[in-house]
Amino acid sequence: MLKLQENGRPKLKRWRPYYPTKLAAIADISAIKAQHGISGTGVHGILTRDQVNEYDQAKRIAPGVPLPEIAQFCRRHHPLKAPAQVDELFGEFLRTVEKRLGLGYQHKDLKARVGAFVRKFSGRSPANIQRAEILTYLLNLDQSGRTIKNHKTSISSFFNWLVEEGYLPFSPAAGIKKKHLPRIERKEVTFLSRAVVEKYLRTAERYDPALVAHEAVQFFAGVRADDEMKNFLAEWVLPTTREMVIPAAAAKTGVREVINNLEANFWNWWRIYGPEKGPLRPKNYLSRWRRLRVLSSIDDRAAADRLASLSPGKLTTCSEASVALKHWPWNARRRTFCTYHVAKYQSADKTALILRHRGSSYTLHQSYRGLGVTSAEGRAYFSLMPQSIKQPMRPI
């Protein structure tokens, strides 16, 4: 007679058959496997009568459907936590991200990409959003393959968080693979020529010398423009030790970083234009930066001087501005630095250390080595020196 434990599970005794020879044991393997398949096994041991009845009822209701699929369907429509709309959960998600990552570039990207997704599915419960709907949303984005991939990654982060918090049993975005999305086309790196950089810096010296240090840090040290330069302080540049220190709170990687082995010309620019302390970027930086780009596109010095007398707002709306403001590649200053630095040394190892490049230096080498810039051109770029102007025409 079967005896039960206090918890209702049967008392079982391990039994091991004896075989006189190895051949006899091997011959019995198929019979044991067949018996195991019929009797089954599991953490609950032998099923009770109620469990057997539940199984039979479930199979009558949904014949041919595996029980795990039935359980997943049930949990999707009856989550552990009370159902909520994506609009409500998005705010909670952002607060969690802020605690983990702060308010840096990652937070901004997640907020923008997931925010666009939430607006599209506003009023919906995440439990009722299917993988096919997410894929359709991604494929309908009028964006490049890389941007669509970035949107997919952000949306996946949102659904993974919902799973972690118990709102969903699994992420519907998890099944979307690289093969389902548009191909990522590798674009050739675009950068500024030495002549353009020199003309631009001469323009800054003449028309807005207070911005020169801000630009030199990017052109000759490769500091990131989109995040690190926003709050870059002059105190981070240490001429006595020839180092630049990016605090953990400002660094993209989230850890304190030290940049050394910078070219001699950077220290010349910093000696003349670098302030002792304070932020390098003024509050009205964007309008002043656009002003410099317009003025640097004008070959006639007298004409440039006349336009320089206008306010930045008026200058950037003149006819010359519409053309000048278009010809500035994305991330141009950092990419220009990288292009000429790799060319000068014919290797990306030193460049990767200065850029704090997290990938392989070989990847960096492959991206920039084939741009047709010679070692001599790299040396010429880092020979650009300041020419301080005695009476600059500062912005109004």
Q: In what order do the strands lie in the sheet with 257-259?
A: 237-238, 243-246, 257-259
pLDDT on residue 43: 52
Residues 183, 204 contacting (CB under 8 angstroms): no
Per-residue pLDDT tens digits of the chain, which is 396 residues long: 667 777 666 676 777 778 888 888 888 888 777 766 555 555 555 666 677 778 788 888 888 888 887 777 776 666 666 668 898 899 889 888 887 765 554 567 788 899 999 999 998 999 889 999 999 999 999 888 888 999 999 999 999 999 988 888 889 998 888 888 888 776 667 889 999 999 999 999 999 999 999 999 999 999 988 778 989 999 999 999 999 999 988 887 778 889 989 999 999 999 999 999 999 999 899 989 999 999 999 889 898 898 888 888 788 887 777 777 777 877 889 999 988 998 898 877 888 888 876 655 556 655 666 567 889 999 999 999 999 888 888 887
3-state SS assignment for residue 319: helix
Q: Where in the chain is the domain with CATH 1.10.150.130?
A: 86-174
Q: Which amino acid is at 223?
A: V
Sequence-distant (6+) residues with CB within 8 A of 173 are 131, 134, 152, 155, 156, 159
CA distance 329 to 251: 23
Q: At what angle do helices 332-345 and 212-221 cross, to 10 degrees?
A: 40
What CATH architecture applies to the domain 86-174?
Orthogonal Bundle (1.10)
CA distance 212 to 305: 18
pTM of the predicted protein model: 0.62
Residues 238, 245 contacting (CB under 8 angstroms): yes
CA distance 279 to 380: 30
Q: Where in the chain is the domain with CATH 1.10.443?
A: 194-381
**4 — phi, psi (to 5°)?**
-110, 150
Among 345, 189, 205, smallest CA distance to 272 is for 205
Is 194-381 assigned to CATH 1.10.443?
yes
CA distance 229 to 236: 11
Q: Which amino acid is at 97?
A: V
Burial class (CB in 10 A: 0-12, 13-18, 19+), 287: middle
- Residue given tokens 């500024």 in the structure block: 192
Sequence-distant (6+) residues with CB within 8 A of 318 are 294, 307, 310
- Residue given tokens 């506003």 in the structure block: 122
- Cα dihedral sign for 145, 146, 149, 155? negative
pLDDT on residue 133: 94
CA distance 108 to 253: 15
CA distance 275 to 233: 9
pLDDT on residue 62: 81
Find the DSSP H helices in the chain. 22-27, 29-39, 49-61, 67-77, 86-101, 105-120, 131-139, 145-164, 194-207, 212-221, 264-273, 285-296, 301-308, 312-315, 319-324, 332-345, 349-355, 361-369, 375-381
- Cα dihedral sign for 353, 354, 358, 362? negative
Burial class (CB in 10 A: 0-12, 13-18, 19+), 292: buried
DSSP state, residue 142 = -
Q: Which amino acid is at 180?
A: H
pLDDT on residue 105: 46
Maximum distance among all Cα pairs of the chain, rounded to whole angstroms: 109
3-state SS assignment for residue 224: coil
